[in-house]
């Protein structure tokens, strides 16, 4: 082999090696980012336990141990992390303990029976569905013993009832057809328990429903922002791992994570969503997610949770940790200064909802904006 042929062979080998190395580097760069492996937590050393006894062979207790018992356990050893505190059960506030039916957002028809009715008979007389068209329908009874309105329950007796249908929700205002369906269901229940109904005027209630629906439409805010990857895509596990550090937990549907409210049972403060097909893939690590959605349903969350401020903090933290950029719903990048006017508008919206006794996060607001 001549010197020229040998040189060409060496050059060809180097070029081939460079091509392979470049392709490998490109594949790794474009591969979705994966979640970092979690190290298993090391359990503490097992503590020898001794049952209480009064015999002479009991192990003596040192003076230092007695001092520790007198002081109590160190609070730092049982500190609750802020994220874990969200899962602790909290009793509902007093303003949440109110009737389901409320004249502010419901049509209410009194149903007066000739004599008290058992809870079992009332339950048997309830209609099979709890809706009139697209509006929630409910019947409450005045408990003879507690003198409180409640959903009929077995073993109780009720001296009167009231039927109600919601005036409006995000499906629109109560219309004449839905009002007629409400009347039919309430009348059937009244006949079953031998009660006399007193229905309000349909035209007046429908007009009230339209006015409430107009107010709700003007004050309904559902914010959604997009977090888009700058370079490499993300895997579902990578998104979940970074969101979990900020307090998010898996939601009811694949591809949905939620930031729980400070009180158990309330709607989540924030929702993070991504491609459902990526979440359901056989190998999620190979699924590429280019963007995720961070959303806030304003009327569902009380202003004391500071949901928009937390949304901004979460968006900034995720963008920094995942090398992303905050965008609007159309994918256009948003500067930080664009968020300040939104915050000011939300404070005005909260005040307007408070003035109508439909404070964001309250029972009535959650029903109306649903």
- Residue stretches of the chain with pLDDT short of 50: 41-98
Closest CA to 208 of 172, 235, 176, 174: 174
Report the alpha-carbon distance of residue 243 to residue 231 in Å, rounded.
Answer: 19
pLDDT score recorded for residue 198: 97
pLDDT score recorded for residue 9: 65
Report the alpha-carbon distance of residue 156 to residue 164 in Å, rounded.
Answer: 21
pLDDT score recorded for residue 51: 38
DSSP tag of 357? T
Report the alpha-carbon distance of residue 301 to residue 264 in Å, rounded.
Answer: 13
278's CB contacts (< 8 A; 6+ apart) are: 236, 255, 284, 287, 288, 289
Dihedral class, residue 339 (left if φ above 0, else alpha if ψ from -120 to 50, else beta): alpha
- At residue 108, φ and ψ (nearest 5 deg) are -125, 130
Closest CA to 262 of 310, 223, 221, 294: 310
Q: Which residues pair with 168 in a beta bridge?
A: 173
Closest CA to 246 of 310, 327, 324: 310
Report the alpha-carbon distance of residue 236 to residue 248 in Å, rounded.
Answer: 14
Q: Residues in the chain, how many?
A: 370
Reading the block at residue 326, the tokens are 């905050």
In CATH, 222-368 is 3.30.1400.10: yes
Question: Is the fold of 106-217 the same as that of 222-368?
Answer: yes
pLDDT score recorded for residue 283: 83
Closest CA to 257 of 302, 293, 307, 297: 293
Residues 100, 150 contacting (CB under 8 angstroms): no
Residues 162, 101 contacting (CB under 8 angstroms): yes
Question: Domain residue spans in the chain?
Answer: 106-217, 222-368
pLDDT score recorded for residue 55: 39
Three-state SS at 91: coil
The tens digit of pLDDT for each residue in 21-41 reads 555 555 555 556 556 666 554
Residue 309: C-alpha distances to residues 85, 86, 222, 303, 339 (Å): 19, 17, 15, 10, 10
pLDDT score recorded for residue 349: 97
| Tokens 């596990």 -> residue | 237
Closest CA to 350 of 293, 312, 306, 314: 306
pLDDT score recorded for residue 3: 74
Residue 97: C-alpha distances to residues 78, 104, 148, 161, 227 (Å): 32, 16, 12, 19, 38
Q: Vertex 202, ends 200 and 203: CA angle to 5°?
A: 125
350's CB contacts (< 8 A; 6+ apart) are: 303, 359, 360
**What is the longest distance spanned by two Cα atoms in the chain?**
117
Three-state SS at 365: helix
* 106-217 fold: Cell Division Protein Zipa; Chain: A, (3.30.1400)
Strands 117-118 and 168-169, by their bridges, are unpaired
Residue 227: C-alpha distances to residues 155, 287, 324, 332 (Å): 54, 17, 6, 10
């Amino acid at each position: 082999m001549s010197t020229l042929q040998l040189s060409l062979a060496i050059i060809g080998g180097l070029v081939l090696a460079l091509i392979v190395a470049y392709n490998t580097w490109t594949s790794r760069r474009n591969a979705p980012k994966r979640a970092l492996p979690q190290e298993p937590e090391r359990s503490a050393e097992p503590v020898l336990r001794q049952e209480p006894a009064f015999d002479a062979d009991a192990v003596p207790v040192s003076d230092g141990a007695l001092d520790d018992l007198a002081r109590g356990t160190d609070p730092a050893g049982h500190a609750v992390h802020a994220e874990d505190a969200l899962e602790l059960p909290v009793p509902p506030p007093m303003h949440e303990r109110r009737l389901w039916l409320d004249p502010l957002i419901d049509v209410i028809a009194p149903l007066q029976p000739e004599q008290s009715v058992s809870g079992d008979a009332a339950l048997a007389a309830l209609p099979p569905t709890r809706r009139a068209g697209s509006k929630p329908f409910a019947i409450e009874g005045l408990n003879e013993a507690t003198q409180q309105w409640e959903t009929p329950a077995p073993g109780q007796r009720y001296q009167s009832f009231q039927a109600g249908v919601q005036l409006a929700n995000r499906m629109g205002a109560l219309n004449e057809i839905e009002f007629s369906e409400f009347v039919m269901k309430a009348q059937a229940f009244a006949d079953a328990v031998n009660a006399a109904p007193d229905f309000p005027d349909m035209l007046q209630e429908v007009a009230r429903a339209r006015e409430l629906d107009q107010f709700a439409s003007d004050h309904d805010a559902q914010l959604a922002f997009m977090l888009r990857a700058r370079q490499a895509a993300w895997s579902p596990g990578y998104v979940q791992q970074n969101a979990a550090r900020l307090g998010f937990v898996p939601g009811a549907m694949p591809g949905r994570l939620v930031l729980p409210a400070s009180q158990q049972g309330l709607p989540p403060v924030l929702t993070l969503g991504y491609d459902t097909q990526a979440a359901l893939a056989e190998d999620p690590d190979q699924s590429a997610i280019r963007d995720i959605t961070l959303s806030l349903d304003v009327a569902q969350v009380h202003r004391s949770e500071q949901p928009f401020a937390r949304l901004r903090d979460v968006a900034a933290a995720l963008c920094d940790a995942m090398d992303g950029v905050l965008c609007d719903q159309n994918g256009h990048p948003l500067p930080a200064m664009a968020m300040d006017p939104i915050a000011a508008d939300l404070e005005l919206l909260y005040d307007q909802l408070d003035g109508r006794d439909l404070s964001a996060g309250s029972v009535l607001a959650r029903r109306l904006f649903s």
